[in-house]
Amino acid sequence: RKVNSSMSFSGSCFIVLLIQWIALDRKCKPLNKGTHNKLLVISFDGFRWDYDQDVDTPHMDKLVEDGVKAKYITPPLQNAIDLLCAFEPLLHPVIRSIHVMSIPFLLFQGLKTGSFFFPGGGANYSGQCVNRALVEETGQQDDNETEWRQNIDTVLSWFTEEDFDFVTLYYGEPDNVGHAKGPDHPDRKTIIKQIDRTIGYLREAIQRDGLTDNLNVIITSDHGMTTVKKIPLVDEIILSKYLNFFNLVYFELLDYGGFGMITPKKGKEQHVYDALMKAPNLTVYKKEDMPENFHLSKNDRMQPIIVIADLGFNLNSVGRLIVYVNKGDHGFHMDEMDMKTIFRAFGPDFKKSYLSEPFDSVHIYPLMCKLLQIDPAPNNGSLSVTEGMLVQNDTSRELLLESILVSKCMTVSIN
């Protein structure tokens, strides 16, 4: 069955619809269909789909030959997820306090799993389901390349020494530099080169540790990044110019950036909607009229009116002073190309030199379940979108080949 929810597994709410299943206490069940290869999922936060196109990235380029590349993938409406987590104080404590990259063990029960992520990426969790969740408080910056390599060594040791099945690894770049300096700053190119070297080190370490033949790797991200349009070059979208908040609005949640939600006073919903429709550089939705690919219209924590600024514009409700220093940001409409992100994969179960058409990130979860041979929880994704990138070694194919050989033998015998 389909699940209509906002929750998505992403860097700050990472790739696919996972949190919703925690709230529903859903459990993935092992299919017990034989052995499976191990899986490592790496998230480079805020890695826009085209960041490697203006930088020399030999190791990422080699992945195109040795594995799978998607032209790009489309993330969920990322700021909506963050605001929903803040909006519901009674939300399951795991959802409120845990970075999603730290909780794969809650979604892949029956397997030995773990997560490694940086300071600021989440919090420790001591629940009974945890195999391993590691937060390193080293005092070093998120872009410390030596530490990045040490983290890879640690994660690979979980596979080789402790026989883990599934591990996630999170890096806070290039999101940090994208926010602080903007996606077009030279420092963004510098960090992409560092990421490329890290991927090269990962592949060397996989070979060193004897994991080449039994470890699949997925490299992806949670969202893209765009340049913030600043005063005085453009005007902020000050909603109080079009709407009397005191008379018409019961509650508003307008984060800095390009996304917000509003609860009108009783009987004032149409009035609020009509007024906001007059604002420039703004798209306004009633909750029930949101596009299907938002997967938000049936979420109980969504407010009646949703507003999304045009790419790079900043929302302000009543003209209050907001200290907004970001030069780059995300959380705009996911159909904007600046919001698209990356997908790379390699390993024994993935084809080589395979270029995938673009797809939504919700389809990664069924792919992960397929690789780990577990039964997926209800979700909005479909394995049919991604199974073409897999090497098919299933029983049905073997039986088909066997029947072809038998048929040929019979033909030869008759002749």
pLDDT in tens, 199-258: 999 999 999 999 999 999 999 999 999 999 887 788 888 898 999 998 999 988 876 678
The predicted structure's pLDDT at residue 203 = 98
Any domain includes 10: no
Do 44 and 185 fall into the same domain? yes
With CA atoms as reference, report the closest residue to 270 among 280, 284, 281: 284
Q: Domain span at residue 219? A: 19-225+333-389
0.75 exceeded by the pTM? yes
Do 348 and 219 fall into the same domain? yes
Do 202 and 279 fall into the same domain? no
The predicted structure's pLDDT at residue 340 = 96
Strands 282-286 and 259-264: unpaired
Do 52 and 104 fall into the same domain? yes
Any domain includes 359: yes
Q: In what helix (H) or strand (E) does residue 252 lie, and over which residues does it extend?
A: strand 249-254
Any domain includes 1: no
Task: Tell me the angle at which helices 186-208 and 145-162 cross, rounded to the nearest 10 degrees.
Answer: 30
Do 147 and 285 fall into the same domain? no
List of the chain residues with pLDDT < 50: 1-33, 88-106, 118-130, 135-140, 394-401, 404, 408-415
Do 130 and 148 fall into the same domain? yes
The predicted structure's pLDDT at residue 48 = 97
Domain count, the chain: 2
- 262-281 pLDDT tens trace: 999 999 999 999 999 999 99
Do 67 and 137 fall into the same domain? yes
Give me the DSSP letters along 338-351: GG-B-EEEESTTB-
Do 158 and 266 fall into the same domain? no
Do 269 and 360 fall into the same domain? no
The predicted structure's pLDDT at residue 109 = 57
Do 245 and 312 fall into the same domain? yes
Any domain includes 14: no
Any domain includes 408: no
Do 135 and 178 fall into the same domain? yes
Kindly provide the b/e burial profile for residues 45-83, where b requires at least 16 CB atoms within 10 angstroms of the residue's own CB: bbbbbebbeeeebebbeebeeebbbbebbbbbbbbbbbb
